[in-house]
Amino acid sequence: MAPPEAAQRARRAAAITEEERRRNRMASNRLSARKSRMKQQQHVDDLTAVAERLRRENEAMRAGLGGVVRQSIELEQENRVLAAHARQLCATLLLRNSQLRLLGDVAGLPLDVPLVPDHLVQLYGMLEF
């Protein structure tokens, strides 16, 4: 058996070793906690940056959408004006063709007056004179 002093020294060495292990474990836990907080903060920072970028993109898209809507309204208006003009031209063409045919009949001259294509008449809802 070991003398009492040797046993005491062994107990003290074991206690010191246990205390060192406890301190090392605490230091390791603190380091792990700090790393975890830093990683979490980095994740929050990344998400904040993404949210800000998406917010800017959204604002830019909304601004662009306003321009597209405005342009669409202008084009619809222009289309209505052009369609009205096309209807007017089709009606004038039908009238002139009718007048030419009548003139040919009155003058006794065979005039070759082409018919207005059916698709134009149907498109603009006009009837032949």
Domain boundaries, the chain: 4-124
Token output for 97: 């063709």
5-63 pLDDT tens trace:
877 777 777 777 888 989 999 999 999 999 999 999 999 999 999 999 999 999 999 99
Whether pLDDT at 69 is above 60: yes
- Whether residue 97 contacts residue 129, with contact meaning beta carbons closer than 8 Å, is answered with yes
Token output for 126: 């006009």
Residue located via tokens 């289309």: 79
